[in-house]
Structure 1
Amino acid sequence: MTGVSDHRLKVVAFTASFLVYVAVGYWLQVDNGFILGDALSRVSAAQSVLFSRDPHLAAIGFIFTPLTAMLQIPAVLLSPLWPDLTARAFAGSIMSAVFMAGCVVQVLSMGTDRKLPRAYIIAITVLFALNPMIVFYGSNGMSEAPFLFFITWAVRRLTMWMIDDDVHHLIAAGGIAMALSYLTRYDAVACIAAAGVIVGVTTYRRARKAPRLRRALLDLLLVSGPGLASFLGWAVASWLITGEPFAQFTSQYGNAAILQQSGTPTVDFGGGVVFAATCVMLLAPTLIPLAIWAGILRLRRPYWPTLIIPLALYGGVLAFQAYSYASGSTFPFLRFYIAAIPFAACLAMLAVPERGYVTFKRPGRHAPPAPAEPPRRRGWPAYAPVAVVFAVTVPAAAWGMSLPKYAPQEYASAAVLAPDPGDVSDRRAVERRVAATFSTEREIARYLDGLGLPDSSVITDTVYGFAVVAASTRPKTFVVPSDPDFTALLNDPVGQGVEYLLSVPPTGRGVSDALNVRYPTLYDNGADIATLELEIPNDGDSQPNWRLYRVNEPVPES
């Protein structure tokens, strides 16, 4: 009966969370147009796979790892029937809602695995599910939701492996969860390495007889080998198609190039570490007390090594992000430290006495014998204080999201949550511009769609143009860099029958725009190949003013 009840609880948790996240996504993105650029670019990539002039899987691109965009392909397939799936990135909202709801179930399962009191499990799960950062990234189509799901799934299964030595946990954690996590975010390399070390050392210590080293290596490969295969496979595919194995770091469209083009100020290493630590504390200020209390509770009890798994995997992600920012290779974004929230939830499940464990289905040779009698039940004083300490993460995250210095992508949500037309302060003006990001690009798409242009009529680079292409109901109108004939048409738009060039200023990220690279004076004067037809001021924050140039008629030969 308990198993059935747990199953129903998980179904309810998934369904309720999914409905909340998808509803918030619809409200934010479809109703209010509050869309983050990375989310829309992934939708545009999925759209290119299906509806570009040359549909092919490689059109998904090699800057981001591919899974977040690939998972949206089924929803994008329906975009001709409902254009907002791509124009307002609602396909991304559906994807992130599914995976964040799955992450909620994994958090809940950490409690049911240990037979904790039902009220306590529900309290921790609800506090996690309704954390404003979790709600926001469970609804906006970014990569955080699938990444947190895969890592939390891996943490849970590896924790259980520490208890029952069931090799199937290693298969689920390494062969599936962590391999897919790398195809979602590059941060996963830290988890893959940490898990391999922990599993290898644990197996070596458990094995009393030779060949200890061989057994340790086999388990290490089982848990980290698929992740390594994902790493190598993605690098080889990128190298074969683009000539760059790690385009995120070497391409003109990658993070390093964007940081340089946007003039983002560099920070010293110490300052970067302080910034990262501040972000972690904003999202989970009670993380350290929870870890200390969980350590004290586990120290002289059975299964104390279970605490190592979340410390290594979640801690590895946070350390990776801290080092990346401190070394100047990524951005000062609060969302990069979102793993602190499930980390704290996991510790909250470990910082209270268990009431036993679920029945071991396939225990390994090092699984402990069943206890002679069930553990002594504890009253609410053993659980309520930990729940209260964890609850602090909810208002703390809400406050952190309101700070532009730490949350440049989240703070403008205030313009949607609490609109105040009478507020003319500079901050509210910036918030409105951020909330209106991509509204201009949707207007450009509507204008071009209304011209009834044939295929291959407009050349644009996807540095900024992805938002226009995603909003268009006629994506085959556009010639984009993933098209195999992009370079040929860009080099001779007059002779190839191209009608328009959609141009951005050759400043900031615009210096990498292929049109500006090929025609440095295009934005200023048409580069003698086109005539200005429209200039479109942009309503969005940090978005360029567009110029639409009509390609000149070919000069007849005399």
Structure 2
Amino acid sequence: MIALAVYLAVGYWLHVRHGFILGDALSRVSAAQSVLFSRDPHLAAIGFIFTPLTAVVQIPAIALSPLWPEMTERAFSGTIMSAVFMAGAVVQIMSMGTDRGLPRWYVLTVTALFALNPMIVFYGANGMSEAPFLFFMSWAVRRLIMWMVDDDVHHLVTAGGVAMGLAYLTRYDAVACIGAAGILVGLTTYSRARPAPRMRRALLDLIMVSGPGLAAFLGWAGVSWLITGEAFGQFTSQYGNAAILEQSGHTAPGFGEGLTFSAVCVMLLAPTLIPLAMWVVVRRRRTPDWHVLLAPTAIFGAALTFQAVSYATGSTFPFLRFYIVAIPLAACLAMLAVPDGVLAPAKRRGKYAPALRPERTEPRRRLAAYVPVAAAFAVAVPVTAWGMGQPEYAPQEYALGAVLAPQPDSVTEQKAIEHRIAASFSTEREIADYLEWLNLPDGSVIVDTEYGFAILAASKRPRMFVVPSDPDFTAALNEPTAHGVKYLLAVPRAGRGTADALNLRYPTLYDTGADLATLELEIPNNGDSQPDWRLYRVHDVSPAS
């Protein structure tokens, strides 16, 4: 509850008070808003580029937006979502220590260092997908550690049947973790299960932990294909990640350079990860439960490997946040690098559980055993805070300086960039206000959500817009006048704007109006990497004219 309150307060301060909102967070808010308040409310309006869970869980909060518009306009529904999930991740980290009977002061120290890490605070407050992903991954790792100890089938059911399946509906990265969990559990059961049939038992456990994730993978792909004709829109759609990389002119780094960048990001987030790992190995190498190290190494390591290889091969962006799982990995190692107390009892101890002898330390040795590990983990807090201020590695985080330490009189180029990022989507909010002032009827303005999601999220009358999720979008775009469309919102036909549906249908729209409409308003954008807008009034070609 303390963590939840902190993340909600930080999110309110960033989003509502200062308007510091990341684009992906606001995009998810806009998608969930379309489910309830578009011209054709339906669940499929949530879209199939992102996996759905982070947007779906915001729907109840977004239902309150008529009473408090900041739920959508300032993406506070996203803050609620990420704050709840990140608070849950804090509970899972704490439980990794209480499960092992560690001293309460030590558990609370490591938990607090995790909860107050600057990256954890920021992504617990900003409505992005990192918070639910960390929650589900930490939950899965915690239960797999306990399964390694007591062979309790309840842990496999929770780790695979709940955490892994929902993790894939949060982030595509989870597919690597699902595979790693299946391999880890299958091999562990195979090595334990004696006598035969070892293979059958290993296969059953593998299916139990990875089957739900596979079902989520196939189910989401199938639904996407049935509705949009594309099974993996993130990779094949004009709005997907691959298309964005191409449109933005992003070039793949060399493979070695990409891996080096990833390694630096991991070190910025968990600078003592390698010493902690070595500490754990030395501590546990001769104990019966040495294999508990495999769970965090396999699951969190799979996520980090997936991101490193993705960037090195040019299929994703150079963002520090993609390596955020290094922080719970380090926290987990800190819980395993110290002497255990009395382990939590199993609900149903399995027949293949290794025989363990609870380990205790003398009171005079407690501080010597625990304090150095906690101190090593604490190093991450200042190092990560510094790393978030490095634009080369943290292009989405370093502009926080414009909010945390404003310098209105500064004239440096970097400060100007920071202020533009901090002002993102203020222009789109002004456009939404202007269109509401025009008091237009429903279905009067066509806009593509490629860039227009921020306008929809800021509007108190989202039914005014015709958007790609509406079943009549293509017909209205082809014959605007016949469908009552009065305005077209256009962006330049460059970069990501080349995929804008209006530019695809009318390539000269932004420059000339495409002999279809007359320029009424040009709106320069205050935000970073956001396009200048032009509002075109559609020609009236009715017989009365």
SS in 2 for 1:527: coil
1:112 aligns with 98
SS in 2 for 1:533: strand
2:303 corresponds, among 286, 311, 317, to: 317
SS in 2 for 1:193: helix
Separation in 1 of the partners of 2:454 and 2:403?
21
Separation in 1 of the partners of 2:145 and 2:318?
32
Q: Does the 8 Å contact 1:114/1:358 carry over to 2?
A: yes
1:267 corresponds, among 219, 231, 253, to: 253
Separation in 2 of the partners of 1:326 and 1:543?
27
1:161 corresponds, among 133, 142, 147, to: 147
2:514 corresponds, among 527, 538, 551, to: 527
Separation in 1 of the partners of 2:544 and 2:520?
26
Does the C-alpha gap of structure 1 residues 88 and 299 become closer, same or farther in structure 2, counting only changes over 3 Å? same
Question: Structure 1, residues 243-281: CA drift from partner, whole Å, max 9, x if none?
Answer: 111110011101111011111232111111111111001
Amino acid at match of 2:467: V
Question: Structure 1, residues 436-473: CA drift from partner, whole Å, max 9, x if none?
Answer: 00000000001111111111000000000000000000
Separation in 1 of the partners of 2:544 and 2:409?
62
Q: Does the 8 Å contact 1:493/1:551 carry over to 2?
A: yes
2:27 corresponds, among 34, 38, 41, to: 41
2:360 corresponds, among 375, 381, 388, to: 375
2:281 corresponds, among 295, 310, 316, to: 295
Separation in 2 of the partners of 1:287 and 1:55?
47
2:347 aligns with 361
Separation in 2 of the partners of 1:386 and 1:203?
31
Question: Structure 1, residues 515-552: CA drift from partner, whole Å, max 9, x if none?
Answer: 00000000011101111110001000111010000110
Q: Does the 8 Å contact 2:288/2:356 carry over to 1?
A: no
Separation in 2 of the partners of 1:370 and 1:81?
57
2:200 corresponds, among 200, 207, 214, to: 214
Separation in 2 of the partners of 1:420 and 1:267?
34
SS in 2 for 1:495: helix
Q: Does the 8 Å contact 2:339/2:361 carry over to 1?
A: no
2:385 aligns with 398
2:47 aligns with 61
Q: Does the 8 Å contact 1:333/1:406 carry over to 2?
A: yes
Counting only pairs closer than 5 Å after superposition, residues 401-480 of structure 1 correspond to structure 2 as: 401-480=388-467
SS in 2 for 1:550: strand
Matched, 1:229 2:243: no
2:74 corresponds, among 64, 77, 88, to: 88
Give the unaligned 5+ runs of structure 2.
Answer: none
2:505 aligns with 518
Separation in 2 of the partners of 1:543 and 1:179?
35
Q: Does the 8 Å contact 1:531/1:551 carry over to 2?
A: yes
Separation in 1 of the partners of 2:432 and 2:371?
54
SS in 1 for 2:35: helix
1:509 corresponds, among 493, 496, 503, to: 496
SS in 2 for 1:515: helix
Question: Structure 1, residues 48-92: CA drift from partner, whole Å, max 9, x if none?
Answer: 011101111111111000000001011001001000000010000
Separation in 1 of the partners of 2:152 and 2:347?
8
1:125 aligns with 111
Counting only pairs closer than 5 Å after superposition, residues 535-546 of structure 1 correspond to structure 2 as: 535-546=522-533
What root-mean-square deviation, in Å, do the aligned CA atoms of Structure 1 and Structure 2 show?
1.1
Separation in 2 of the partners of 1:374 and 1:306?
15
Q: How far off is 1:356 after superposition? A: 2.4
Matched, 1:500 2:482: no
Separation in 2 of the partners of 1:441 and 1:526?
21
Amino acid at match of 2:199: L
Q: How far off is 1:376 after superposition? A: 3.4
Amino acid at match of 1:222: M
Separation in 2 of the partners of 1:368 and 1:412?
50
1:8 aligns with none
Question: Structure 1, residues 371-426: CA drift from partner, whole Å, max 9, x if none?
Answer: 4x763344201000010100011011101100001101000000000111111111
Separation in 1 of the partners of 2:322 and 2:251?
18
User: How many residues end up aligned between the 2 structures?
Assistant: 543
Q: How far off is 1:139 after superposition? A: 0.1
Separation in 2 of the partners of 1:275 and 1:21?
29
Q: How far off is 1:360 after superposition? A: 2.0
SS in 2 for 1:30: helix
Counting only pairs closer than 5 Å after superposition, residues 137-152 of structure 1 correspond to structure 2 as: 137-152=123-138
Separation in 2 of the partners of 1:318 and 1:283?
12
Separation in 2 of the partners of 1:178 and 1:469?
33
SS in 2 for 1:365: coil
SS in 1 for 2:481: coil
Separation in 2 of the partners of 1:367 and 1:517?
61
Separation in 2 of the partners of 1:462 and 1:336?
24
Q: Does the 8 Å contact 2:251/2:314 carry over to 1?
A: no
SS in 1 for 2:175: helix
Q: Does the 8 Å contact 1:46/1:70 carry over to 2?
A: yes
2:472 aligns with 485
Separation in 1 of the partners of 2:180 and 2:480?
52
Q: Does the 8 Å contact 2:288/2:354 carry over to 1?
A: no
Separation in 1 of the partners of 2:124 and 2:495?
31
Q: Does the 8 Å contact 2:101/2:342 carry over to 1?
A: yes
Q: Does the 8 Å contact 2:486/2:537 carry over to 1?
A: yes
Separation in 2 of the partners of 1:153 and 1:431?
36
Counting only pairs closer than 5 Å after superposition, residues 156-195 of structure 1 correspond to structure 2 as: 156-195=142-181
Separation in 2 of the partners of 1:275 and 1:370?
41
SS in 2 for 1:407: coil
Q: How far off is 1:98 after superposition? A: 0.2
Amino acid at match of 1:72: Q
Separation in 2 of the partners of 1:113 and 1:542?
46
Separation in 2 of the partners of 1:352 and 1:557?
83
SS in 1 for 2:520: strand
SS in 1 for 2:20: coil
Q: How far off is 1:368 after superposition? A: 4.2
Q: How far off is 1:361 after superposition? A: 2.2
Separation in 1 of the partners of 2:484 and 2:274?
63
1:134 aligns with 120
Q: How far off is 1:482 after superposition? A: 0.5
TM-score, length basis structure 2 = 0.98
Amino acid at match of 2:394: A
Separation in 2 of the partners of 1:131 and 1:557?
65
Q: Does the 8 Å contact 1:495/1:554 carry over to 2?
A: no
Q: Does the 8 Å contact 1:124/1:345 carry over to 2?
A: yes
**Stretch of structure 1 that moved more, 502-511 or 201-210:** 201-210
Matched, 1:17 2:3: yes
Q: Does the 8 Å contact 2:136/2:166 carry over to 1?
A: yes
Separation in 2 of the partners of 1:497 and 1:314?
52
Q: State the identity as a percent.
A: 70
Separation in 2 of the partners of 1:160 and 1:198?
14
Q: Does the 8 Å contact 2:433/2:459 carry over to 1?
A: yes
